[in-house]
């Protein structure tokens, strides 16, 4: 069956005008998954915030209860004792100026970057190439820290960073289509709960405006927000 026909069939399973309960949505998502690879499940959340205002810039990170279902390659900028701690915790790459030079030359074979605070002078020099790729270490999401071992362990176990875009939308992975529905359910509810708690006091009107789920190749499925809010209370 051609991929185009698969996509068409996947879309026909879903009513774009309907709001689905999380369990039905996950059932449809799995039913509509046809790729030969293990697709990533993504969530999109439209928030009633103005990201241009500093106090409404929703940003953070959390370790999903059931991980992401993929091996995460972790790079750590550290020296001495901190470098040893990072290596012992399972970091894939550990270094300082040598790594910065490699990255400056176009090497990006890693998924997340962590740095001890004393390394930010080195990291700052390559901020222009790390930033656009979402790889710049940041204290707000725990990737600039003295506790590099813990940061490495969290990254390896499925830590997800999220940041609201200009349009007020947050995109984040919540697992793989091979996960059982309960694991995906727990990951989704954990992320939504964190976002609800992050609501700025200055945000007026409806905060959670729209939430949808999709797999890499699948169509978007709109979730019933009132049900999600009831489930996380």
Domain count, the chain: 2
Q: State how beta strands 112-115 and 74-77 pair.
A: parallel
Average pLDDT of the segment spanning 164-173:
93
148 in any annotated domain: yes
Per-residue pLDDT of 108-142, as tens digits, reads: 999 999 999 999 999 999 999 999 998 999 998 89
User: Are 56 and 128 within one domain?
Assistant: no
| Residue-range definition of the domain harbouring residue 166 | 15-67+159-232
Q: State how beta strands 169-176 and 40-47 pair.
A: antiparallel
3 in any annotated domain: no
**Tokens found for residue 37:** 């690879």
Q: Per 3-state DSSP, what percentage of the chain is helix, strand, and coil (rounded to 5)?
A: 40, 20, 40
Neighbouring-strand partners of residue 77? 95, 115
Per-residue pLDDT of 68-96, as tens digits, reads: 998 899 999 999 999 999 999 999 999 99
Q: State how beta strands 93-95 and 74-77 pair.
A: parallel
Sign of torsion over alpha carbons 25, 28, 34, 38: positive
Domain end residue (candidates: 123, 156, 189) = 156
| CB 112, CB 72: distance < 8 Å | yes
| CB 104, CB 98: distance < 8 Å | no
User: How far is residue 112's CA from residue 155's CA, in Å, rounded to a whole number?
Assistant: 8
User: How far is residue 9's CA from residue 189's CA, in Å, rounded to a whole number?
Assistant: 28
User: Are 86 and 195 within one domain?
Assistant: no
Alpha helices in 38-180 (DSSP H): 80-88, 97-104, 120-124, 127-130, 148-156
DSSP one-letter string for 12-35: HT--TTPPBPHHHHHHHHHHT---
pLDDT of residue 7: 56
Domain end residue (candidates: 107, 129, 156) = 156
pLDDT above 70: residue 185: yes
What φ, ψ does residue 156 adopt, rounded to 5°?
-70, -30
Per-residue pLDDT of 12-48, as tens digits, reads: 678 888 999 999 999 999 888 777 889 999 999 999 9
Per-residue pLDDT of 44-61, as tens digits, reads: 999 999 999 999 999 999
Instruction: Give the predicted TM-score (pTM) of the model.
Output: 0.83
**Helices 22-31 & 225-232, crossing angle to 10 degrees?**
120
Q: What is the CATH number of the domain that holds 102?
A: 3.40.50.790
| CB 44, CB 174: distance < 8 Å | no
User: How far is residue 207's CA from residue 68's CA, in Å, rounded to a whole number?
Assistant: 26
User: How far is residue 191's CA from residue 57's CA, in Å, rounded to a whole number?
Assistant: 16
């Amino acid at each position: 069956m051609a991929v185009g026909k698969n996509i068409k069939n996947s879309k026909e399973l879903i009513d774009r005008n309907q709001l689905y309960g999380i369990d039905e949505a996950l059932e449809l998502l799995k039913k509509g998954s046809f790729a030969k690879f293990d697709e990533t499940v993504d969530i999109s959340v439209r928030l009633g915030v103005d990201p241009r205002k500093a106090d409404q810039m929703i940003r953070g990170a959390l370790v999903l209860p059931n991980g992401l279902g993929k091996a995460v390659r972790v790079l750590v900028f550290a020296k001495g004792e901190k470098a040893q701690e990072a290596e012992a915790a399972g970091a894939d790459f550990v270094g300082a100026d040598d790594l910065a030079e490699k990255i400056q030359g176009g090497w990006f074979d890693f998924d997340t970057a962590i740095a001890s605070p004393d390394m930010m002078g080195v990291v700052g020099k390559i901020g222009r190439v790390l930033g656009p790729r979402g790889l710049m270490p940041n204290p707000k999401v725990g990737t600039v820290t003295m506790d590099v071992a813990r940061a490495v362990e969290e990254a390896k176990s499925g830590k997800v960073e999220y940041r609201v875009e200009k349009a007020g939308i947050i995109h984040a992975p919540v697992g793989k289509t091979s996960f059982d529905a309960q694991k995906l359910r727990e990951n989704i509810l954990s992320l939504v709960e964190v976002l609800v708690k992050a609501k700025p006091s200055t945000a007026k009107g409806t905060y959670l405006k729209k939430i949808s789920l999709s797999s890499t190749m699948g169509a978007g499925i709109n979730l019933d927000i009132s049900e999600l809010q009831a489930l996380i209370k």
